[in-house]
């Protein structure tokens, strides 16, 4: 079986709820986020995943991703990995898109990047590192991480530029699967929040 990447975005935080760019600021989950993580874990314990026996698990070291991983029931199998940290938003950390556009009306993160932060090429390089690890052995992997990083990972899995991530949004506590179709990298499932009801 060709390896797949199962992507779990962390649960809801105060900043994700308000739309603030949350890169390296270590924001905790809201009760809603903890509840969503529990529901995600319950989903992965049942068909067709059956607790994902043999899956290798990694998580961003940031609290919101680690806590989602732990509540979902995978904390004892997970290894922290800095490559899964969120986009470093630099000077735009903690700002909403509306606040940024008040200063830069035509701004788009996927085209213009951020001052004093990470470049699109740098986040793409981290996504490529995750993909190389996922494809390095004959087993599925499960990662708990963040919206923008996971969107770039989806784009890079397909062999596309990181800017393609602008076209594939992700909600908190969503489940996505990057797999294969006819021997080519494909998106099997994207932004699935069915477990949240």
- Give the residue numbers marked as catalytic: 10, 86
Spatial neighbors of 112 by CB under 8 A, at least 6 apart, are 104, 106
How many angstroms separate the Cα of 15 from the Cα of each of 97, 134, 166, 176? 12, 30, 20, 22
| DSSP strands (E only) in the chain | 5-9, 56-59, 78-80, 141-145, 175-181, 184-192
Task: Check: CB of residue 174 under 8 Å from CB of residue 18.
Answer: no
Rounded to whole angstroms, the Cα distance separating 38 from 186 reads 28
Q: CA 122: distance to chain centroid?
A: 16
Rounded to whole angstroms, the Cα distance separating 94 from 46 reads 37
């Amino acid at each position: 079986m060709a390896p797949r990447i199962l992507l779990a975005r962390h649960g809801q935080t105060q900043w994700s709820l308000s739309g603030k760019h949350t890169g390296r600021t270590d924001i905790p989950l809201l009760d809603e986020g903890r509840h969503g993580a529990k529901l995600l874990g319950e989903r992965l314990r049942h068909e067709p995943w059956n607790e994902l026996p043999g899956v290798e698990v990694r998580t961003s070291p940031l609290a919101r991703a680690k806590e989602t991983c732990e509540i979902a029931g995978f904390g004892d199998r997970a290894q922290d990995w800095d490559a899964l940290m969120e986009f470093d938003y630099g000077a735009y950390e903690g700002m909403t898109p509306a606040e940024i556009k008040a200063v830069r009306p035509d701004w788009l993160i996927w085209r213009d990047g951020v001052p004093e932060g990470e470049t699109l090429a740098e986040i793409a390089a981290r996504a490529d590192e995750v993909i190389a690890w996922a494809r390095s052995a004959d087993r599925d992997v499960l990662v708990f991480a963040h919206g923008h990083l996971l969107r770039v990972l989806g784009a890079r899995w397909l062999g596309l530029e990181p800017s393609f991530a602008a076209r594939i949004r992700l909600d908190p506590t969503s489940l996505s699967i990057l797999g294969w179709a006819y021997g080519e990298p494909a998106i099997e499932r994207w932004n699935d929040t069915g477990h949240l009801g």
